[in-house]
């Protein structure tokens, strides 16, 4: 039986709140065994772009990453946020090591092809994107890799990449070597049966139940791509996907998605 590896994805909401981030990192330090963190961006980068007079370009809700924007998001995600998370984990005794995709060629991406929209310097991942050998070496020496959502193309170009995609690509790629648990941490306690009732967390969802919940409209717009992505990861060999509150990772309340 292979070892359990837990991958925690945290979003922008918690990155933007230093007190909550500290609480999450302290809780993460109590999670035993090998683990990884993937962090999103937060509002800091948009604020800095604005302060510098660089207007954020959005098309159909997606940020367009021009060269100036890539510079700022690289600075924010790979510099400020990544090093804050790493230093905070070190403070709590976790031997964290920050990574962009370029470091150790750990995640190689391709610049998204231009179709209707030119997304600019945005990276897409494929099944061979992840350097699993290096990650096994790092985990084997007791390190906790901390990923920002910046990758590279291997030809010197950094690329802005979706953090959820990075988390699920890491989970899939490492599934042959570990029993991977992929934890999506956000501000709610799990998937809610009733969006107006924070206590209506669904403890477990199978693929069949998911189809039914979608058909009945219980699972709403914003949650659908996240859960589609999660069930695809399960199909690709990930052992378990957990949707939980970033501030309650050591508490029993959460939604567990399982294969059957």
Query: Residues within the annotated binding site for substrate?
Result: 41-42, 63, 160
Of 108, 107, 109, the closest CA to residue 119 belongs to 109
- Shortest distance in whole angstroms from residue 238 CB to its own copies: 26
- Closest CB to its own copies among residues 100, 245: 100
Count the neighbouring beta carbons within 10 Å of the beta carbon of residue 213: 18
- Shortest distance in whole angstroms from residue 159 CB to its own copies: 9
CA separation, residue 32 to residues 36, 82, 141, 171, 257 (Å): 12, 22, 15, 18, 21
- Shortest distance in whole angstroms from residue 125 CB to its own copies: 16
Mark the binding-site residues, compressed into ranges: 41-42, 63, 160
- Closest CB to its own copies among residues 56, 104: 104
Q: Which two tokens stand for residue 121?
A: 């310097």
Residue with token string 């945005």: 122
Check: CB of residue 65 under 8 Å from CB of residue 157.
Answer: no
Summarize as ranges the residues that interact with its own copies (CB under 8 A).
Answer: 48, 51-52, 71, 74-80, 82-84, 86-88, 90-91, 95-100, 102-105, 134, 137, 141, 143, 150, 152, 154-158
- Closest CB to its own copies among residues 174, 192: 174
Residue with token string 């370029």: 102
Taking the C-alpha atoms of residue 51 and residue 47, their distance in angstroms, rounded to an integer, is 6
- Closest CB to its own copies among residues 104, 207: 104
- Shortest distance in whole angstroms from residue 257 CB to its own copies: 32
């Amino acid at each position: 039986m292979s070892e359990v590896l837990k991958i925690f994805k945290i979003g922008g909401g918690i990155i933007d709140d230093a007190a909550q981030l500290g609480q999450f990192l302290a809780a993460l330090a109590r999670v035993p065994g090998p683990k990884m963190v993937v962090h999103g961006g937060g509002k800091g980068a948009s604020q800095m772009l604005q302060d510098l007079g660089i207007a954020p370009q959005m098309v159909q809700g997606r940020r367009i990453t021009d060269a100036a924007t890539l510079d700022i998001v690289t600075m924010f995600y790979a510099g400020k946020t990544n090093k804050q998370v790493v230093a905070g984990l070190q403070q709590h005794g976790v031997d964290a090591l920050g990574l962009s995709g370029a470091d150790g060629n750990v995640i190689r991406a391709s610049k998204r092809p231009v179709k209707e929209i030119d997304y600019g310097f945005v990276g897409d991942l494929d099944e061979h994107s992840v350097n699993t050998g290096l990650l096994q070496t790092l985990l084997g020496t007791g390190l906790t890799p901390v990923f920002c959502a910046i990758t590279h193309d291997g030809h010197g170009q950094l690329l802005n990449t979706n953090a959820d995609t990075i988390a699920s690509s890491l989970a899939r790629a490492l599934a042959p070597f570990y029993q991977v648990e992929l934890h999506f941490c956000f501000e709610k306690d799990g998937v809610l049966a009733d969006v107006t009732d924070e206590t209506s967390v669904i403890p477990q969802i199978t693929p069949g139940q998911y189809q039914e919940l979608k058909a009945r409209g219980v699972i709403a717009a914003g949650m659908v791509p996240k859960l589609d992505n999660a069930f695809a990861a399960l199909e690709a060999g990930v052992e378990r996907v957990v949707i939980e509150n970033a501030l309650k990772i050591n508490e029993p309340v959460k939604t567990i998605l399982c294969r059957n």
